[in-house]
């Protein structure tokens, strides 16, 4: 019901915008019917407020006043001070048209007080404009002049040209009522040009009527007739029947005074024709109102009949609804059971897959412990006896080979144990992470020293392309683990007499470290398998063993840093492993980091 009321009010506003007040009245009465049906006091107040407007513009002052009195105690429900001010202005205009000047003045002053309270200068100017005819009727010429001039000054600042011109026209009316015709015509002519140029037809016609009165009162009937003709043109173009009735009456009087009785008779006939048409339309409007009320009553009766039929249908349909509800419930239960079973199957399948992957990982891990960890230890058995033998036989070269073997074995064993520990921590998400600024070149050089014996065994050269001032923000242990694994792989897979190139640089707030080997390379299809324990383990260029944990661990540590790792390679042309870490905007110098380290040491 509320929505219907709101919708019919929109229809009514559209009709008002198009100038069809009769249709607007019909729509607003329908809106009031639905508002009363919904027992919505707010909507009822809005509808009666709109109806008072429509009746006023239709000239039915009695109806307009009746609607105003019905909502006078409810206007606060609308909750808008400006609407309350507009309501008081309308009351002022209605009482003025009904010649109750005391109540009219009181209403206008109430409107002005409200606008002044909410600091609405435009509203105050409109109130002064509409109050001017009342002040003229009371003979309060000085007050009217003072208010209008103050209003005009304010409107110039506000920039409202239309209201400014209407205020000048009201000032002209004030001069005219004091028989100051020259001053009145000055105001009329200035506003006439504006309204004519901007297409305000009815306003232009009203000014023409004022000029007719002014020129005729000044003894200039020719000018009066000229403006009467212009006023007729404007009203004809505007299609205003009331305006045409007024202008034909004025022309009738002018022609009668000038002695042109034929034109006087013609205009008198037109005046009565339009007056009759207006009265006919008024009668039609009243008939339409009665029809609307009758339609409302008929709708009520039809509604009662429909309600009775609905009650009869309700009993019959209740059984259908119960049966339908039961069917829907059963279907819903079946569907719910089916979806639960399907979700359970999918969950079990996922869990089985995860268990299978975990078993494979576990088997791989145990394989590493059983084979790759045992092999270096077994290789160290008997080393002491060999060293004692070579010392006894004074064979330094063979002794050097044994010590080199011990170094290589312990290096691989240390790396393997470190990787196993880090991997185990990663599986329980308990890897200790503490980010800080670290010198990149120093970390790389420390890592290179670890693998120098292995590199010398293959006659490999290390080349470090890293600025000494370059810093990285990250976990020292994690980054060293990544560097160690990448450099270890590069040494392992590089061919003899090759080189390992390590490059670090900043690229768009990202630290990139690339480790390039001169080894056997990787085919494109194997690049995606590098970070999985399922991959086949490939031995180094000199048969060095591997566990497969290194790159998996590197990927995990890069994710901790919100970084990335990837490889670029062609089979037979070596491989380049690249890591990228996001860095803060402010990077300290090496000297700053060294000072901070000293402070920490103290």
pLDDT of residue 443: 92
Q: Give residue-wise pLDDT tens across range 494-512.
A: 888 999 999 999 998 999 9
Q: Which residue in this structure is represented by tokens 């002005």?
A: 112
Lowest mean pLDDT among 68-82, 447-461, 563-577: 68-82
Terminal CA-CA length for the chain: 82
Count of positions (residues) in the chain: 602
For 525, the 3-state DSSP assignment is helix
Residue 80 confidence (pLDDT): 73
pLDDT top residue among 389 and 260: 260
Specify the pLDDT at position 379.
54
Instruction: Describe the strand order of the beta sheet including 499-507 as a list of residue ranges.
Output: 461-465, 499-507, 510-516, 575-582, 564-569
- Taking the C-alpha atoms of residue 189 and residue 95, their distance in angstroms, rounded to an integer, is 31
Output the pTM of the full model: 0.43
Q: Bigger pLDDT: 12 or 526?
A: 12
- Per-residue pLDDT at 590: 46
Q: Residue 559 is encoded by which pair of tokens?
A: 């994710």
Does residue 8 surpass a pLDDT of 50?
Answer: yes
563-599: burial string, b at 16+ Cβ within 10 Å, e else: bebebebeeeebbbbbbbbebeeebeebeebeeeeee
pLDDT band, residue 594 (cuts 50/70/90): very low
Locate 506 and state its tokens: 């900043």
Q: Give per-residue pLDDT as tens, 538-548.
A: 555 555 655 56
**Closest to 481 measured CA to CA, from 452, 446, 529:** 446
Out of 7-11, 410-414, 530-534, 535-539, the most confident range is: 7-11
pLDDT band of 78, cuts 50, 70, 90: low
- The pLDDT mean for the chain works out to 81
Residue 561 DSSP SS3: coil
Q: HSE of 185 in the Cβ direction (CA atoms, 13 Å)?
A: 15
Any idea which residue has 């979806």 for tokens?
Answer: 339
In order of 472, 479, 505, 580, 594, the CA distances from 589 in angstroms are 11, 19, 15, 20, 9
Torsion sign across C-alpha atoms 133, 138, 141, 145: negative
Strand partners, 577: 515, 567
Alpha helices in 428-494 (DSSP H): 440-457, 476-493
- Residue 87 pLDDT > 60, yes or no? yes
Q: What integer is the mean pLDDT of 113-136?
A: 89
Residue in 181, 189, 247, 251 with CA at minimum distance from that of residue 214: 181
Task: Please give the C-alpha separations between residue 528 and each of 104, 361, 566, in angstroms, as whole numbers.
Answer: 90, 18, 9
pLDDT tens digits, one per residue of 183-193: 988 988 889 88
Closest among 188, 244, 190 to 214, alpha carbons compared = 188
pLDDT at 526: 75
Question: CA-based angle 339:344:345, to the nearest 5?
Answer: 100
pLDDT digits (tens, 9 = 90+) for 36-50: 888 887 788 888 888
DSSP code for 12: H
pLDDT tens across 531-572, in order?
766 554 555 555 565 556 778 888 888 888 899 999 988 877
Return the HEC string of 209-238. HHHHHHHHHCCCHHHHHHHHHHHHHHHHHH
CA 392 to chain centre: 88
- Residue predicted with more confidence, 179 or 404: 179
pLDDT at residue number 593: 44
Work out the average pLDDT over 448-471: 90
Decide if 573 contacts 453 (C-beta within 8 A).
Answer: no
pLDDT at residue 426, as a whole number? 55
* Lowest mean per-residue pLDDT among 169-183, 464-478, 516-530: 516-530
Is 210 or 430 the better-scoring residue by pLDDT? 210
- Average pLDDT (443-447) is 92
* Nearest of 119, 142, 150, 144 to residue 131 by alpha carbon: 144
Per the CB < 8 A criterion, the answer to whether 127 and 164 are in contact is: no
* Residue 349 burial by Cβ neighbours in a 10 Å radius (0-12, 13-18, 19+): exposed
| pLDDT tens figures, 448-459 | 988 888 888 889
Task: Quote the CA–CA distance of 501 and 455 in Å, as a whole number.
Answer: 13
Q: Which residue has better confidence, 159 or 499?
A: 499
pLDDT confidence band for 479 (50 / 70 / 90): very high
């Amino acid at each position: 019901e509320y929505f219907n009321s709101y919708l019919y009010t929109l229809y009514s506003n559209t009709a008002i915008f198009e100038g069809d007040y009769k249709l607007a009245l019909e729509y607003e009465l329908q809106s009031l019917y639905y508002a009363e049906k919904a027992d919505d006091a707010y909507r009822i107040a809005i509808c009666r407020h709109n109806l008072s407007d429509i009746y006023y513009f239709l000239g039915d002052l009695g109806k307009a006043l009746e609607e105003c009195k019905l909502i006078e105690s409810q206007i606060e429900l609308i909750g808008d001070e400006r609407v309350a001010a507009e309501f008081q202005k309308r009351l002022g205009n209605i009482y003025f048209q009904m010649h109750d000047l005391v109540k009219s003045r009181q209403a206008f002053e109430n409107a002005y007080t409200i606008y002044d309270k909410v600091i609405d200068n435009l509203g105050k100017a409109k109130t002064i404009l509409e109050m001017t005819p009342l002040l003229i009727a009371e003979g309060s010429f000085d007050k009217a002049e003072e208010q209008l001039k103050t209003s005009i000054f304010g409107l110039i600042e506000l920039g409202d040209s239309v209201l400014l011109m209407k205020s000048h026209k009201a000032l002209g009316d004030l001069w005219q009522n004091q028989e100051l015709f020259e001053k009145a015509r000055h105001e009329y002519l200035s506003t006439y040009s504006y309204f004519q140029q901007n297409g305000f037809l009815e306003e232009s016609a009203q000014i023409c009527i004022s000029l007719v009165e002014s020129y005729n009162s000044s003894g200039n009937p020719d000018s009066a007739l000229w403006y009467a003709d212009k006023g007729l043109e404007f009203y004809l173009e505007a299609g205003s029947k009331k305006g045409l009735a007024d202008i034909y009456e004025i022309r009738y009087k002018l022609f009668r005074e000038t002695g042109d009785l034929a034109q006087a008779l013609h205009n008198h006939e037109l005046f009565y024709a339009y007056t009759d048409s207006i009265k006919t339309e008024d009668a039609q409007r009243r008939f339409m109102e009665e029809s609307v009320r009758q339609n409302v009553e008929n709708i009520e009766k039809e509604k009662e009949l429909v309600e009775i039929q609905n009650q009869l249908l309700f009993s019959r349909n209740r059984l259908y609804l119960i049966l339908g509800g039961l069917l829907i419930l059963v279907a819903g239960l079946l569907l719910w059971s089916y979806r639960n079973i399907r979700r359970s199957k999918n969950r079990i399948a996922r869990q089985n897959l995860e268990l299978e992957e975990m078993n494979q990982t576990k088997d791989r891990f145990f394989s590493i412990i059983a084979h790759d960890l045992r092999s270096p230890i077994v290789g160290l058995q008997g080393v002491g006896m060999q060293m004692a033998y070579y010392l006894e036989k004074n064979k330094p070269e063979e002794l050097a080979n044994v010590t080199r073997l011990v170094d290589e074995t312990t290096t691989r064993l240390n790396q393997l144990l470190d990787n196993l520990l880090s991997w185990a921590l990663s599986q329980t998400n308990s890897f200790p992470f503490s980010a800080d600024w670290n010198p990149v070149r120093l970390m790389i050089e420390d890592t290179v020293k670890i693998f120098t014996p292995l590199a010398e065994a293959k006659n490999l050269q290390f080349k470090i392309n890293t600025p000494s001032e370059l810093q990285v923000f990250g976990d020292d242990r994690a980054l060293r683990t990544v560097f160690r694994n990448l450099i270890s792989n590069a040494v392992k897979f590089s061919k003899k007499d090759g080189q390992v190139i390590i490059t670090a640089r900043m690229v768009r707030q990202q630290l990139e470290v690339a480790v390039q080997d001169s080894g056997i390379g990787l085919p494109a299809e194997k690049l995606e398998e590098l970070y999985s324990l399922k991959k086949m383990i490939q031995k180094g260029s000199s048969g060095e063993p591997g566990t497969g944990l290194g790159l998996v661990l590197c990927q995990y540590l890069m994710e901790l840093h919100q970084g990335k790792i990837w490889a670029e390679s062609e089979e037979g042309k070596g491989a380049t492993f690249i890591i990228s870490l996001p860095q803060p905007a402010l990077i300290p110098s090496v000297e700053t980091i060294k000072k901070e380290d000293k402070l920490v040491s103290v």
